[in-house]
Amino acid sequence: MAGEEERKRVLVVGSSGYLGQQLLMASSAADRLDPHVVFNCVAMSVPRACEMDPPAAMATNVPSSLVNWLLSFGNDDALLIHLSTDQVYEGVKSFYKEEDETVPVNMYGKSKVAAEKLIVEKCSNYAILRSSIIYGPQTISPVAKSLPVQWMDGVLSQGQQVEFFNDEFRCPANVKDMVDVILSLTKTWLSDVKKVQVLLNVGGPDRVSRLQMAESVAVVHGYNPSIIKSVSTSSVNRGVASPPDISMDITKLT
């Protein structure tokens, strides 16, 4: 109808992944041509896999083709919401702020820093979200990658002793909270239609180790806590460097 507001077009890139499926369920995906908002959830996110194949990590995690495609429409009005990671930080202190220097210790983090730099240099309307571990219920179409709480539940349910790191800290984020942040950014931009350049840490309020996460899962499901063995990250060779403490300051979210 004449005078009716144009329906906004949303594109979810990486919609078969965990966060991507949650976004699809929470938003109405429309025409994929010349979108108003793009959610980029594509990632090669297993650090060891990135370490074994750096070219693939860079090709997957640095969205050059997506950015060039968006720019090909002749305007830079589309809002690009890009999912980054807490692994851009070095991990030598607690509660990193967005302004802190990015010193990634592995190829996964390096590829995500390269992605952030590309977006900042070439795009004029973007939100980069540095996400911690994302947890929550399994999706309708189960994702291949192990979800943290489900994996812990599975191994603890077997009743055998399991090792968990006591000296590696993150700020796990509930997937519903992640979706709420993304949709809030989208709705704010669609109502104001003012270009934004936003960089945000997105995580939960608590700094926890994998050991503490496992202990919480054991309490909720009634598993014997004695099967949980506390170990240091130095006791295991994972084939890839891992930042010990990448807990994040999330005050900018409030």
* Mean pLDDT in residue range 7-16: 61
Task: Return the residue matching tokens 């083709």.
Answer: 65
The rounded distance, in Å, linking the Cα atoms of 122 and 68 is 9
Q: What is the pTM of this model?
A: 0.87
The answer to whether residue 3 sits within a structural domain is no
The rounded distance, in Å, linking the Cα atoms of 243 and 89 is 7
Domain count of the fold of the chain: 1
The answer to whether residue 194 sits within a structural domain is yes
What confidence score (pLDDT) does residue 12 get? 72
| Residues 248 and 132 sit within 8 Å (Cβ to Cβ) | yes
The answer to whether residue 57 sits within a structural domain is yes
In sequence order, what are the residues at sequence separation of 6 or more whose Cβ sits closer than 8 angstroms to the Cβ of residue 16? 141, 143
The answer to whether residue 113 sits within a structural domain is yes
What is the tens place of the pLDDT at every residue in 77-109?
A: 889 999 999 999 999 999 999 999 999 999 999
pLDDT band at residue 210 under the 50/70/90 scheme: very high
Take residue 131 and report the two structure tokens written for it: 């996400």
> What CATH code is carried by the domain that includes residue 161?
3.40.50.720
Please give the single-letter amino acid code of residue 187: K
The answer to whether residue 4 sits within a structural domain is no
The answer to whether residue 1 sits within a structural domain is no
What is the tens place of the pLDDT at every residue in 13-32?
A: 754 444 544 544 454 443 44
What confidence score (pLDDT) does residue 165 get? 97
Structural domain of residue 163, as residue ranges? 10-253
